[in-house]
Amino acid sequence: MIIGQIKDGIVLDHITAGRSMEIYNILKLDKLDCTVALIQNADSEKLTKKDIIKISTPLDLNLDVLGYVDPGITVNYIKDGKVAERRHLCLPERVVDIIKCRNPRCITSTERSLVHEFKLVDPARRLYRCIYCEQQAK
């Protein structure tokens, strides 16, 4: 199968197989007025199988969200049909307003204006804790 090359935009590569729809929904790509190609279960030397998302317009993506959801993603920024910049994502040290604290006694439950901020405490287990109450994120 051949999917066309994009002139300007973004290619999200090395997405864990089966996770592209989740990323599509998180980034609200259905709201864009441009071409978005979703490729699932593509052959990969590194991962055996992978998903790819091609977006035919430049966007300002929240890389912390992508790194939190799937830290192995490679973000390729395309300009004039060539890769202008490539970023390899990893788990972010802190995530802000991505995870919501579930602790009813946390200050974020009563003070609605506070951001929900979590820090990475165990990268091997992908474990984050609330900076205010130390509640583990799910």
Whole-angstrom Cα distance, residue 46 to residue 70? Answer: 15
Sorted by sequence, the CB contacts under 8 Å of residue 49 that are 6+ apart come out as 17, 41, 42, 43
CATH class of the domain comprising 9-88: alpha beta
Query: Count of alpha carbons within 13 Å of 91, Cβ hemisphere only?
Result: 12
Provide the residue count of the chain. Answer: 138
Q: Which pLDDT score, from 0 to 100, does residue 4 have?
A: 75
Q: What are the extents of the domains in the chain?
A: 9-88, 94-130
**Euclidean distance between CA atoms 27 and 66, whole angstroms:** 9
- Which band of pLDDT confidence, cut at 50, 70 and 90, is reported for residue 54? very high
Q: Where residue 17 falls among pLDDT bands split at 50, 70, 90?
A: very high
